[in-house]
Structure 1
Amino acid sequence: MGLCEFIYEDEGAFAVNIVKELTTHALYIRFELGLGSFMDEACRSEGIHRANAICRSVFDPEDHVIFLHHTSYSRNEKRVSIVRLKRFFKTRLRQQLSSSVLPYEFGESEEDLYTFEWKAEIKAKEIRIPYVLESIENLDFRRKPEAGGQIYLYNKTKGILFHMYDDRGCDVYSSDKDALLPLYHKHRKWILDYNRYQIDNLFGEGLAGIIETDEEQKARRKSNNKKIVESGINLRQINTCCITHYFEIPLANADIFAKELAFTSFEIERVSKTDNRVTFTAAKTEALAQIDYQSHLMSMYGKKYGAYIGWSCVRGD
């Protein structure tokens, strides 16, 4: 049974909570949009560019789309009676718009909170997608236009849910792995590095099948903790660092290693070369508190192609 058949009965006469169903049970790819400071216009433009490119890959003009706008309230809070939805569409909405009350979307145990959903079923070409994405980008920064809530775009034709959660990134969900595979291939470089190992394994490519043993994990984390202590950096305070990872790769694997690491957001450099070995570095500026995922990801590349030597850091704040 396909996702559309599971969610809908009688061509949309009855529907379960689409967002809840997909975000809880479906497969997904998480893409990184935000790069650096939101106030840096070049970084902001790159984020919008990425979001638009991903949307173009998800939605064809004639696809049937369910536009979902969510706002959450407490039981004692007065709900906004009018949400300016028409600005998100190129055509005038008539009978397509409906509303419903849903359980609070950010937690099942929040009995005093609920989510109000506006829903419109239209074609993709009728949505002002660039405007929608810009509105989401601005949501946390008091910059207009702004979305006024969470927006989800469900491609009913393809069974894909697109959710740009804020300026930092977006998730694309589907119960059909084959529906996501073209996105994985086309936008692989934008996959969030934190989730890259998991997503590679989902599609059986990249680092799929490269496993860290319990002993290797224990040794890696012990080494990480020792280096953090030696650095004197307090992870409970601002701890932005330039973290550099070191590799020794057999010459025969050097080019393919460099090509695969180029899909990440790390800066790759060939440091030295001998007759049979190449030394590489991979650097990224990020909170040192993220070293567990970084060292795991980098050590898996080292294990696949050669040897991972370790990492160093320089405070960047």
Structure 2
Amino acid sequence: MTFDKFINDYFPNLIVRPPLLYNWNTGIRFELGDPHLYDLDVSHYMEQVYSRTTELFRALFMKDDDIFIVTNAIFAYRYKYQVKKLKLYSRYIRNKQVLKNLKLTIIPDIYAEDDEEPNEENNTYRYIINCKVSDVDNLSLLKAICNQDVGIKPSIHHDVFFININKGLIFHIYDDRGCDVISSSILQLKDIYIKFNEWILDYDREEIKKIFEGKH
């Protein structure tokens, strides 16, 4: 299945960009790190962030699941032939054979508001790779994404989306503070809604509760 077909089948009209939670009708936003802990001890805070991220990922993705890893990168204005493959893929992909399937498309200013004219200098370079979960060093990749705003290396500053083809869901860590997961089916997320309920971000808790408990 191609990425475009997957989106059309499971998430029609969705633009794959943050914030996923506010762009789709079935999703959860989890808090990865307690901000009060950050003020007390950054290292303990990041341990919590890594731990929660890992638990959530393992609950959503099995080793044999088919996935897309989609990366939205912005390099200012460059022609396609001037953009090299991201180190993200060479560094974190265990099975180097799947790198042959890496796709790159250029999208005009995907982060522009609906009433704004796209700016060519903000072109988004979208990298897509189709592989198995087991083909990727996922834990190292997840940590690097979480590190983006806290001055810890290695770090990744692009938007990286993990898409589970088998389960019809998308997982995105927006930074060390939290992550979104959306699905085409409430049933796919019901178990993690129950199991990790305490981690749901309080700011969005009531709206998320309405989705899963039907209290409108």
SS of aligned partner of 1:106: coil
Q: 1:168 aligns with which of 177, 186, 191?
A: 177
The one-letter code matched in structure 2 to 1:52 is T
Structure with greater helix percent: 2
SS of aligned partner of 2:86: coil
**What residue in structure 1 maps to residue 104 of structure 2?**
99
Q: 2:94 aligns with which of 90, 96, 108?
A: 90
1:54 is the counterpart of 2:60? no
Q: How far apart in 1 are the matches of 2:132 and 2:8?
A: 17
Higher relative contact order (CA 8 A, sep 6+): 2
Q: 1:152 aligns with which of 139, 154, 161?
A: 161
**What residue in structure 1 maps to residue 191 of structure 2?**
182
With over 3 angstroms needed to count, the CA separation of the structure-2 counterparts of 1:200 and 1:8, relative to structure 1, is: closer
How far apart are 1:63 and its partner, in Å? Answer: 0.5
Q: How far apart in 2 are the matches of 1:22 and 1:83?
A: 23
Q: How far apart in 2 are the matches of 1:22 and 1:154?
A: 15
Q: How far apart in 2 are the matches of 1:21 and 1:190?
A: 20
1:111 is the counterpart of 2:118? yes
1:126 is the counterpart of 2:125? no
How far apart are 1:148 and its partner, in Å? Answer: 3.9
Q: Deviations over 1:69-119 (max 9, x none)?
A: 111244379965342021121211343211111233332325112211111
Q: Deviations over 1:97-142 (max 9, x none)?
A: 1111123333232511221111110011111111111111111233
**What residue in structure 2 maps to residue 81 of structure 1?**
84
Percent identity between matched residues is 28
Q: Deviations over 1:184-239 (max 9, x none)?
A: 0111110000011001111117xx35xxxxxxxxxxxxxxxxxxxxxxxxxxxxxx
1:1-317 correspondence to structure 2 within 5 Å: 7=7, 19-20=16-17, 23=20, 24-36=23-35, 37=38, 40-75=42-77, 80-84=83-87, 85-92=89-96, 93-108=98-113, 109=116, 111-112=118-119, 113-204=122-213, 208=215
How far apart are 1:28 and its partner, in Å? Answer: 1.1
Asked which structure has the greater CA Rg, the reply is: 1
With over 3 angstroms needed to count, the CA separation of the structure-2 counterparts of 1:28 and 1:57, relative to structure 1, is: same
Asked if the contact 1:153–1:162 (Cα under 8 Å) also holds between the matched residues in 2, the reply is yes
Asked if the contact 2:92–2:137 (Cα under 8 Å) also holds between the matched residues in 1, the reply is yes
Asked if the contact 2:32–2:52 (Cα under 8 Å) also holds between the matched residues in 1, the reply is yes
The one-letter code matched in structure 1 to 2:202 is D
How far apart are 1:52 and its partner, in Å? Answer: 0.5
How far apart are 1:182 and its partner, in Å? Answer: 1.0
Structure with greater strand percent: 1
SS of aligned partner of 2:173: strand
Asked if the contact 1:4–1:159 (Cα under 8 Å) also holds between the matched residues in 2, the reply is no
CA RMSD of aligned residues (A): 3.0
Asked if the contact 1:17–1:102 (Cα under 8 Å) also holds between the matched residues in 2, the reply is no
With over 3 angstroms needed to count, the CA separation of the structure-2 counterparts of 1:6 and 1:64, relative to structure 1, is: closer
Aligned length: 200
Consecutive unaligned residues of structure 1, counting only runs of 5 or more, are 10-14, 210-317
Consecutive unaligned residues of structure 2, counting only runs of 5 or more, are none
TM-score normalized by structure 1? Answer: 0.57
Asked if the contact 1:67–1:119 (Cα under 8 Å) also holds between the matched residues in 2, the reply is yes
The one-letter code matched in structure 1 to 2:108 is P
SS of aligned partner of 1:56: helix
